[in-house]
Amino acid sequence: MEQLVMSSGPHIHSGASDRRIMLDVILALLPAAVAGVILFGIPALWVILTCVLSAVISEFLFNLIARKKQSVGDLSAVVTGLLLALNLSVNVPLWQAALGTVFAIVLVKCVFGGIGRNFANPAITGRVFLLIAFPSTVAGGALPKGIDAASSATPLDLIGVEGAQLPTLLQMFLGQRGGAIGETCILALLIGFAYLLLRKVIRWEIPVIFVGTVFLLSLIFGGFNTAVYEVLAGGLVLGAVFMATDYTTTPITARARMLFALGCGLITFAIRWFCALPEGVSYSILCMNILAPWLEKWTRRKPLGGV
Amino acid sequence: MSLKKSISNLKLPHYKSTAGMAAVRMPIPKEVLIPLSPMNAHHATQSEPIVQVGDHVTVGQMIAREKDRGASHIHASVSGTVTGIEPYTMGSGSGTAIRIESDGKMEKCPDLKIPHPTNLDEFLQCVRDSGVVGLGGAAYPVWAKLSAAQKTHISTVLVNGAECEPFITADHRVMLEQGDLIQKGIELLKEFMGSEEFIIGIEENKPDAIAQLTERFKDDKAVKIMPLSSVYPQGAKQVLLYNATGKVVEKGQRLASLGVIIINVSSLVKMAEYFVTGMPMVERIITVDGSAVKEPKNLIVPIGCSVRDVVEACGGLKEEPGKILFGGAMMGKTQESMDARIMKATNAVVIMNKKDTKKTAPSPCIHCGRCVAVCPLGLNPTAFARAMELEDDAARAALLQKEQVKVCMQCGCCSYVCPAHRPLAENNNAGIGFLRKWEKEHPEGGKN
C-alpha cells in the first residue's frame, strides 16, 4: 500500500509565510529608501547598504557561532537593517551605523531567541543606542541637497522658535526638510502604508490612532498649523507605519493594539511638548513595547461560549 | 455579549467543482463492512450485532441494535450473506464491524413499513428506528437530539445548510434534489415538536439552493431561508447559532435550553425519507473530490462500502494519493488506507495528491496575531502554544484553563492562516486532551 499521510486538520493552508510578510515590509520601505537617496544623495545609499549588510552578516555569524538554525533567509534581518538606516541621519559615520545595527541584531534580537522572541523593536533600540552613544552625528538631521538653511536643525527644533524659517507644508510632505534618511518624505511613506494595507500585512488602526492622537493633542495645545507640522515632522509617520506595527513587539489582539497606538501618541506628544527632547517617537514605541503584554491582559475578552 | 458582527471571517477557496453534479448511484459493491460505532473519540459506545455469520440479510434489515444514546441502530446496506463480525479500527477509534458479501440483488427487507406516529414519543421512537444520525460529522443520533423536545419547548429549528467546508457539495445537492423531503421533515417537526420557527441557513455560494428553497417555502411563514456569508466556519454550531439568531450557548449550557436545535439538512432529509419510504438509513450522498481523483462526483453510496469502491466509481485515481480525508479540507479526518469504510456521517471523501499533501516546516511565531483575529470564538491560540511549552503540569493546566482551551472547536482557522506554518489547531487539541486528563486526575481543581 502506498504511504498515506496521517495528520489532523486543516489540510490546506493560506500560503502566507513569514518570508513573504518580511518581503512585503521591505517592498513597502523601498519608496522611502529611494526618496531618501534622491533627497540626501548617494551617501544615504551607503548608510542603507551598511546597515542591511551588517544586519544580515551579524545574524548569520551569531547563528553560526551559537550553532542555531540559520535564519537570515526569513529576511527579518534585512527589515531591521533597512529600518534602522532610514532612521539615521545621512551624516552618520558608516562604522557607527554598522555598530548600531550589530547592537540591534545581536543584543536586542538574537540573544532573546531570534525572530518573534525580542521584547523591544530592534531597529528602534538600535537607533536609541546610537542617539545616546553618538548624539551629535545621529540626532542632527541633515538637510537634503539643494535646501539652503543656516543650520541643520530639524523642523521639530524650529517649531515654536521665534522667527524661525519653517519649510512649507508641501516641502514637508515631499521630504525637503532636515531629518533622518527615510523619515522626511511623507509621500513615500504613505505609498508604503497603502501597500501594507493592500497586502493585509498591517491594519490601519495603529498608524491612524498613533498619528491621530499626536495631531489632536497638538491641535488642542498649539493650533491647527502646529498640529499639521507635528504630524509631518520628525519620525512620526515612519514610526507609526513601520515600527509601531512590528508584530513581535506589539500586542496580539486588536483592542490591545489600539490602546498601544493611543499610548504611543500620548507619550510622543508629551515628550515633544513638555520635554527638552525634540523627538519622542522612538521612546514612545519603546515604552509601549514594554507595556504590550499588560495591554493584552487588560483588554482580554470573554470567548464565545467561555467565561 | 461582546462579539457582535459575523463572528467568523475566514474566506477560503471553495473547491466546490462538484456543485453542479447531480448525485449518481454507484455500482453495487461486492461487499460492505459496516462499523458498529460512530468511530469518534468521544463516543466509545457501539451497537450490538443481532445477526450471525452465515445469515442472509436484506437491505434495511437491522443487523445491530444500539445500546445507549451514543450509538444508533445499524441496518444492512446491501442484500447478501454476513461473512464476518470482526474488529475494525479507524483513526483513534476501534470496535466491531459486520461484513456482508453482496448478492448483487439489493433485495429490500420485506418487514419494512411506513411509520405513522401519532405523538411525540412515537415519533421519536420512529426516528430512533430509522438509525439516522447527525450527518454533518458529529454522528450523534438524531432521535436523541430531538428528544430534548420532551423536556423543553423547542421553538426554533435551525436547519444547517451552510456547508462551509471546501470540496463538499453533498448537502448542496440534497437541497437541490430533495426539497420535498426537506419540506416533509419540517412538517414532521412542526407536527410533533410544535416548533414555530424554522431557519434554513445556507451560504450565499449556493444561490440556486437559496432560490429553490425560497420559492418552495414562500407561502410558509414559519420557514425562513437565511443566506449566510460564505465564510468559514459558518456551519459550526456556535457560529451558525450566533450569526442566524444572535444567541450564544454559554459555558455549561445546552443548545436545547435556548429553545433551539440545530439539525443538518441532510440529517433532516434522511429522517423524513424514513417516514416516506420506511427505509432506514442505509445509504447517503457523498462528495468524492480532491486532486488525485480522476472524475470528482457526488455519489449515492451504501454505508460500509470502501474508499476503493467509491474511487472506482469515480474513474479511479489519476495520481498517487498523498492523503485520504473523510470530510472537507479543513476538518476532514485522514484515513489509513483505501480500505477505509464510508460511515453514516461521512459526507465526503477527499483524496489529495502528494504535492497537495506537502507540509511546510514550522518557523518561530512572529506574533502577527492572525490566529487571534481569525478565531471565530475569540480565543488566543498562541497562549495555548505557550502553555504547552510549560514544563510544570499544574502551571500548564492553569494557563489552559484561564485561556479556555476547551472552548476550541477545532475548526482549524488558526493553522490555516499562520504564516509561520505552526500546527496551532493540533496544539489546541493536544491542550484539550491534556486538560481533560489533568482535570480528571485533579478533581479538586488543582488547588493544593
Q: Domain range for residue B301?
A: 283-357
For residues B42 and B45, give the distance between their C-alpha atoms in angstroms, rounded to a whole number: 9
Smallest CA–CA distance, residue A99 to chain B, in Å, is: 25
Instruction: State what percent of residues in chain B have pLDDT above 90.
Output: 82
Give the CATH number of the domain where residue B267 resides: 3.40.50.11540
What's the mean pLDDT when you consider all of chain B?
A: 91
Model ipTM value: 0.89
A16 secondary structure, DSSP code: -
Closest Cα in chain A to B416: A13
Query: Where residue B168 falls among pLDDT bands split at 50, 70, 90?
Result: very high
* Same structural domain, B40 and B150: yes
In a shared domain, residues B193 and B322:
no
Q: Are residues B243 and B304 in the same domain?
A: no
Q: Provide the grid cell at A40.
A: 540626501
B435 in the same domain as B290: no
* C-beta separation of B157 from B200 below 8 A: no
Out of B230, B257, B277, pick the residue that ends a domain. Answer: B277
Q: What residue ranges of chain A have pLDDT lower than 70?
A: 1-2, 139-142, 145-165, 278
Q: Give the mean pLDDT of B191-200.
A: 95
Residues B202 and B114 in one domain: yes
Q: Are residues B322 and B228 in the same domain?
A: no
**Residue A252 distance to chain B (closest CA, Å):** 5
Residue B329 has pLDDT above 70, yes or no: yes
pLDDT value for B405: 94
At A81-124, the pLDDT tens digits run: 999 999 999 999 999 999 999 999 999 999 998 898 888 999 99
Q: B220 to chain A nearest CA, in Å?
A: 33
Residue B218 has pLDDT above 60, yes or no: yes
Same domain, B128 and B185: yes
pLDDT computed for residue A150 by the predictor: 41
- Mutation for testing the A interface, residue in B363, B379, B402, B427 having most A CBs under 10 Å: B363
Q: Which of B7, B338, B368 sits opposite A247 (nearest CB)?
A: B368
Considering only CB atoms, A252 lies closest to which of B2, B248, B380, namely B380
pLDDT at B43: 52
> CA-CA distance, B284 to B326, in Å (whole number)?
14
Residue with cell 545616546: A132
> Which of A126, A108, A105 is CA-nearest to residue A118?
A108
| Lowest-confidence segment of A193-207, B93-107, B289-303 by average pLDDT | B93-107
Residue B314 sits in a domain of what CATH number?
Answer: 3.10.20.600
Q: Which residue of B has its CA nearest to A21?
A: B419
pLDDT of residue A58: 96
**Same domain? B333 vs B190:** no
Predicted confidence at residue B271, as pLDDT, reads 96
Q: Residue A146 has what pLDDT?
A: 59
Predicted pLDDT at B86: 92
Instruction: Give the domain-ending residue among B357, B384, B412.
Output: B357
What architecture (CATH level 2) is domain A18-296? Orthogonal Bundle (1.10)
**Nearest-neighbour CA in chain A from B262: distance (Å):** 16
Q: Which residue has the higher pLDDT, B14 or A3?
A: B14
> A304, B7: Cβ pair inside 8 Å?
yes
Rounded to 5°, angle at Cα B400 from B395 and B406: 150
Q: What is the pLDDT of residue A155?
A: 63
Percent of chain B with pLDDT over 70: 96
Are residues B329 and A1, on separate chains, in Cβ contact within 8 Å? no
**Nearest residue in chain B measured CA to CA from A118:** B366
Tell me, yes or no, whether B307 lies in a domain.
yes
User: Cβ of B334 and A13 within 8 Å?
Assistant: no
Domain check: are B210 and B288 in the same one? no
Q: Among residues B256, B277, B298, which one ends one of the domains?
A: B277
Kindly tell me if the per-residue pLDDT of B186 is higher than 60: yes
Q: State yes or no: pLDDT of B122 exceeds 70.
A: yes
Q: Nearest Cβ partner of B166 from A12, A18, A306? A: A12
* B-chain residues near A11 (CB < 8 A): 323, 325, 329-330, 332, 334, 350, 352, 357
Q: How many domains does chain B have?
A: 3
Alpha-carbon distance B256 to nearest alpha carbon in chain A (angstroms): 15
- pLDDT on residue A122: 94
Least confidently predicted of A172-176, B220-224, B442-446: B442-446
